[in-house]
Amino acid sequence: EKRERHRQRQNRERMGNCFVLLLLGAMVMGLCIGFNEAQLAHDYYRLTCPNVEDIVTQELLSIFVIDATAPAAFLRLVFHDCQVQGCDASILLDSDDTSEMVSSKNFGIKNREMIERIKSILEIECPGQVSCADIIALAAKESVSFSRGPYIQIPLGRKDSTTCSYRQANAHLPSPRISVDGLFNMFIKQGMTLQESVAILGNVHNLESMSL
């Protein structure tokens, strides 16, 4: 009887985790499509870098197998990038005076260097074609898929910013002391549903500890 109750509890947890991952997939779609939608296309690199997604996926898998926290880190990275100036990779810029990483709200952001490593590999394959902003978006997409979430397709064609602003990061990223209602309101302003907001709030930072 105890084993049966344990099995039922595990099944409920698996179902709950699958539901969460579906919501995370929807969140990634919302973030990655919601900004600069008009310029994006699923076949954006068809002529200039047709193997871009295969290359990014291969490099990410090599990261995921040695770092269980990487999927959660990439999901946090895409959220913090898109929340400031849109999905433009401005979070990667390291200007001493204006870097978004100066903001305390970006404390603990990881794997920026992994995006730059993948970018350097793509520069060999197709120089000057693929933006870091698209690599960040693809990393978030693959993070959901690798964590046994849905496979989602996202349009590409984002442009990298040449400017960054820690002031905007301070203004637009959530404070560690923000209330739950404040977080929900912030996510909903970005066009997310209440369910998607719950998924972000309760699970993005804990994705690495999910047991499926």
Residue spans of the domains in the chain: they are 2-209
Q: What confidence score (pLDDT) does residue 62 get?
A: 94
Q: How confident is the model at residue 12 (pLDDT cuts 50, 70, 90)?
A: very low
Q: Assess contact for 111 and 135: CB atoms under 8 A.
A: no
What pTM was computed for the model?
Answer: 0.77
Instruction: Give me the catalytic one of 6, 80, 172, 205.
Output: 80
Mean pLDDT (whole number) for 49-78: 92
3-state secondary structure of 148: coil
pLDDT at 28: 58
Average pLDDT over residues 143-156: 82
Residue numbering of the annotated binding site for Ca(2+): 81, 84, 86, 88, 90, 100
What local confidence, expressed as pLDDT, does residue 172 receive? 82
Give percent above pLDDT 90 in the chain.
34
Q: For domain 2-209, say whether CATH 3.20.20.70 is its number.
A: no
Q: What is the pLDDT of residue 163?
A: 92
Give the residue-averaged pLDDT of 6-17.
Answer: 47
Mean pLDDT for the stretch of residues 19-30: 51
% of the chain surpassing 70 pLDDT: 68
> Is the model's pLDDT at 176 over the cut of 80?
no
Q: In whole angstroms, give the CA distance from residue 59 to residue 55.
A: 6
Annotated binding site for substrate: 174
pLDDT of 195 over the 90 cut? no
> With 50 as the cut, is the pLDDT of residue 13 above it?
no
Region 136-144: what's the mean pLDDT?
90
What confidence tier does 208 reach under pLDDT thresholds 50, 70, 90? very low
205 pLDDT higher than 50: no
The answer to whether 80 is a known catalytic residue is yes
Average pLDDT over residues 160-166: 91
Whether pLDDT at 174 is above 90:
no
3-class DSSP state for residue 190?
coil
CB distance 199 to 136 below 8 Å: no
Q: Which residue has the higher pLDDT, 21 or 3?
A: 3
Which is nearest to 29 in space by CA: 100, 91, 82?
A: 82
Distances 138 to 174, 178, 195 between C-alpha atoms, Å: 23, 29, 23
Binding residues: 81, 84, 86, 88, 90, 100, 174
Work out the average pLDDT over 38-53. Answer: 91
